[in-house]
């Protein structure tokens, strides 16, 4: 199949395939691109090729027709599986593909699918795989969401692009079912806590700070739901136990880490009066369901991956050694997080109207 011109203009109803990112927060931010594409071509369906874990997130995005599971795990090349999927996708008649990751392997399926226009940033030797290669100007596109959205615009569009905030749909009936299953029948206002960070401990506010905050929130008449994956279960138990011991409020602390599906977490987070979170994927989920949010940054920076919400209070100290983007504090002191006091978070919650 002959390569399409980078100026190729797909028909108004021709579908688009987006190769999505591999992290929860990045997938939520990618919805800004989907919104931009849908606004430009309302009749053009959008399908997203992504890791299997992300399909429940994509199902909550009104702009996405289908989530298609990537036939390879994170970091796996799996050339044969990508070739087979590409051949299967030829029947879908995609006129355009947008490849968000910058790896070579991420561009293989659109090429195998024979999609005429294949857009992405210059990356790992992707000549021949992409035929609309964009240069990434980090001075104009500082934020991840800006970089994603810009790929959905014409090459000569002004930068940085306007950003449409993510909005995940909530399933109220599924939330009722989850609350019943988990015994979440306490009528008191809920504060959600998200103490985990898949990337590493340099992004995690100290657990004893979370426990101190939790104890104070219990005294203020709130109940607490702790969210996270299975790896965060132990951290959630430490927070719950310490807070309950300090207040005799154990029945008002629910450690949900590892106890919910991702879809259930979306629905339950949407029921919180407010959320306190490290810079994590669930932080972006909280922003996308419109919850008042206190976002705590350490080794990362809100200049790069801010919560895309008008209801967020960002706590970031920007000390001289940050952002380092390290998984573990290279200096061993974690001052970027330890110097954010519990009182700072309480004041942020008060500004949000949650206290």
* pLDDT tens-place values along the chain, 355 residues long: 333 444 456 667 899 999 999 999 999 999 999 999 999 999 999 999 999 999 999 999 999 999 999 987 777 788 999 999 999 999 999 999 999 999 999 999 999 999 999 999 998 778 889 999 999 999 999 999 999 999 999 999 999 999 999 999 999 999 999 999 999 999 999 999 999 877 788 899 999 999 999 999 999 999 999 999 999 999 999 999 999 888 876 789 999 999 999 999 999 999 999 999 999 999 999 999 999 999 999 999 999 999 999 999 999 999 999 999 999 999 999 999 999 999 999 999 999 999 8
pTM: 0.93
pLDDT single digits (tens) 254-281:
999 999 999 999 999 999 999 999 999 9
CB-based contacts of 284: which residues, under 8 Å, 6+ apart?
24, 25, 28, 29, 166, 305, 307, 308
pLDDT recorded at residue 4: 44
Question: How far apart are alpha carbons 181 and 289 in whole angstroms?
Answer: 22
Q: What are phi and psi of 115, to 5 degrees?
A: -70, 130
Please name every residue paired with 190 in a beta bridge, in sequence order, or none if there are none: 223
pLDDT recorded at residue 244: 87
Comparing CA positions, the residue from 302, 333, 296 lying closest to residue 205 is: 296
pLDDT recorded at residue 248: 78
Q: What are phi and psi of 225, to 5 degrees?
A: -115, 125
Mapping DSSP to helix (H, G, I), strand (E, B) and coil, where does residue 46 land?
Answer: strand
168 token code pair: 């995940």
pLDDT single digits (tens) 33-50:
999 999 999 999 999 999
pLDDT recorded at residue 215: 95
Comparing CA positions, the residue from 226, 12, 15, 213 lying closest to residue 113 is: 15
Question: How far apart are alpha carbons 290 and 202 in whole angstroms?
Answer: 26
């Amino acid at each position: 199949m002959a390569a399409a011109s980078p100026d190729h203009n797909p028909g108004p109803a021709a579908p688009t395939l987006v190769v999505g990112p591999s992290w929860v927060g990045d997938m939520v931010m990618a919805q800004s691109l989907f919104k931009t594409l849908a606004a430009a071509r309302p009749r053009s369906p959008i399908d997203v090729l992504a890791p299997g874990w992300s399909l429940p997130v994509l199902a909550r995005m009104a702009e996405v027709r289908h989530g298609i599971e990537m036939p390879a795990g994170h970091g796996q090349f799996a050339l044969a599986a990508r070739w087979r999927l590409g051949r299967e996708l030829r029947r879908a008649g995609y006129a355009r593909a947008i490849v968000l990751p910058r790896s070579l392997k991420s561009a293989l399926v659109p090429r195998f699918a024979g999609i005429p226009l294949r857009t992405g940033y210059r990356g790992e030797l992707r000549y021949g795989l992409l035929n609309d290669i964009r240069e990434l100007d980090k001075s104009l596109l500082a934020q991840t969401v800006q970089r994603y959205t810009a790929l959905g615009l014409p090459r000569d569009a002004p930068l940085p692009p306007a950003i449409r905030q993510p909005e995940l749909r909530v399933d109220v009936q599924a939330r009722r079912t989850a609350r019943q299953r988990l015994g979440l029948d306490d009528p008191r206002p809920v504060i959600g806590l998200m103490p985990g960070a898949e990337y590493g401990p340099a992004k995690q506010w100290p657990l004893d700070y979370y426990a101190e905050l939790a104890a104070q929130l219990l005294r203020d008449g709130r109940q607490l739901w702790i969210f996270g994956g299975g790896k965060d279960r132990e951290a959630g138990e430490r927070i719950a136990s310490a807070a309950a011991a300090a207040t005799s409020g154990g029945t008002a602390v629910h450690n949900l880490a590892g106890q919910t599906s991702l879809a259930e977490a979306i629905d339950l987070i949407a029921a919180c009066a407010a959320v306190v979170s490290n810079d994590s994927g669930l932080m972006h989920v909280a922003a996308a369901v419109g919850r008042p949010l206190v976002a705590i940054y350490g080794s990362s920076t809100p200049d790069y991956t801010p919560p895309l919400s008008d209801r967020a209070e960002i706590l970031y100290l920007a000390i001289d050694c940050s952002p380092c983007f390290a998984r573990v504090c290279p200096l061993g002191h974690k001052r970027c997080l330890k110097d954010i006091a519990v009182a700072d978070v309480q004041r942020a919650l008060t500004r949000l109207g949650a206290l």
